[in-house]
Each structure stands twice: as C-alpha cells, then as structure tokens.
Structure 1
Amino acid sequence: MKVPIENISFYESEYHRGDKIWNAQTLYDFAKAKEYPILDMPLWNIDLTAEPFECNQLHSFIFQCKRVRDCSLDYPIILDDVGQIADGYHRLCKALLEGKEAIKAIRLLEMPTPDRIENE
C-alpha cells in the first residue's frame, strides 16, 4: 500500500507579506502585463537563511521534497518589489540540487493589488 502524499497546484500557491496575500497566478499575470523581462539570476548570491515553508514534521518535509521533485525549471521565479522571492522556492531548490549556476527570474518593480488582506 502506498502512503498518500498531498499535492498542491500552482493555482493554490500564495505569497504572504504582512497581512497582504497574492496568488502566484496574479503575480505572473501582473509581470506579463507589465512586460517585465525574464533574466538569468546567479544562484551564488541567494540568501539561504530564508524559511519559506514549514518542515517541522516528516510528512511536511516529504511534501516539500515532492514539490521540489515535481516542479519545472521552465518557469521563472518571481521576485517582489523589494527583491524577496514571492514565488519559486521549490524551483530554486531544484536548481541548486541540480548544480545549476543561474535560474530564470522576473523582478517586479511594483506590486499588484493583493488578492486579499487578512483580518479584513
């Protein structure tokens, strides 16, 4: 018998900053509408001290490992308007594990309207 491992789709991915929340799709659509360029971002300058996802239990760790394994490097990561990764930590992990030197990235120069604000 196989142990089921949860899955999450791109359309369920969210970026939280303070009380503001953006869907990953919103960020990509905004970047496309603004025609922000896709650039190669060197991986040697990435701050690896971020805690982008909770992994304090084995099932959480396995879930995140599955997401890294299943993600595609064909899509750029998205940096927010202050340079933080808003979407793409799993792709970043995959690129590092595969020994890549750079990853495709889009840097937002401004943020779109949040999809929702917590406690509103």
Structure 2
Amino acid sequence: MKVPVDNMTFAESQYHRGDKIWTAQTLYDFAKVKEYPILDMPLWNIDLTAEPFECNQLHSFIFQCKRVNQCSLEYPIILDDVGQIADGYHRLCKAILEGKETIKAIRLLEMPAPDRVENK
C-alpha cells in the first residue's frame, strides 16, 4: 500500500507579508500586465537562510520534497518589491539540486493590491 502524500496546486500557493496575502496567480498576472521582464538570476547570490515552509515533521518534509520534484523550471520565480522571493522556493530548490547556475526570475517594482488582509 502506498503512503498518501498531500498535493498542492498553483491556485493554492500564497505569499504572506505582514498581514497581507497574495495568491501566486495574482502576482503572475500583475507581472504580466506590468510587462516586467523575465531575467536569468544567478543562484549564488540568493540568501538560503529563509524559512519559506514548515518542515519540522517528516510528513512535511516529504510533502515539500514532492513539490520540489513536481515543479517546473519553465516558470520564473517572482521577487517582491523589496527583492524577497514571493513565489518560487520549490523551483529555487530544484534548480540548485540540478546544479543550475541561474533561474528565471521576475522582480516586481511595486506590489498589487493584496487578495486579502488578515485581521490580527
């Protein structure tokens, strides 16, 4: 019997900053409307100390590994208006594991309106 591992779709991907939340789709659509260029970003200059997802239990680690294995490097990562990765940590991991030197990236110069704001 196979061990079940959760799935996560692109539509479920979100970026949280403070109390603001954007879906990955919102960020990509905004970048497209603004016609931001897709650039090749060197991987050697990325801060790898970020904690973008929870991996404190084995099932969480397996879930994240599955996401890295299934993601496509055809899609650029998205950097927010201050240069932080807003979408694309799994693609970043995959590129590093595959020995790539660069990754496709879009840098937002401004943020779209958030999809929602959490009340704290």
> Per the shorter chain, which TM-score range?
over 0.9
Q: Distance in 2 between matches of 1:88 and 1:82?
A: 15
Give the deviation of 1:119 after TM superposition. 1.1
RMSD: 0.7
Q: 2:9 aligned with 1:9, yes or no?
A: yes
- Distance, in Å, in 2 between the alignment partners of 1:43 and 1:23 is 24
Match of 1:103 in 2: 103
Deviations 1:18-76, CA, capped at 9 Å, x for gaps: 00000000000000000000000000001000000000000000000000000000000
CA distance, structure 1, for counterparts of residue 62 and residue 113 of structure 2 = 33
For 2:49 and 2:12, how far apart are their aligned partners in 1?
25
Where does the alignment leave 5 or more consecutive residues of structure 1 unmatched? none
> Percent of counterpart pairs with the same letter?
87
The match for 2:41 is: 41
Which SS does the other structure have where 1:106 is aligned? strand
Alignment of 1:105-120 (within 5 A): 105-119=105-119
TM-score w.r.t. the length of structure 2 is 0.99
Question: Between Structure 1 and Structure 2, how many residues are aligned?
Answer: 120
Distance 1:100 1:11 in 2: 27
C-alpha separation in 2, matches of 1:60 and 1:119: 27
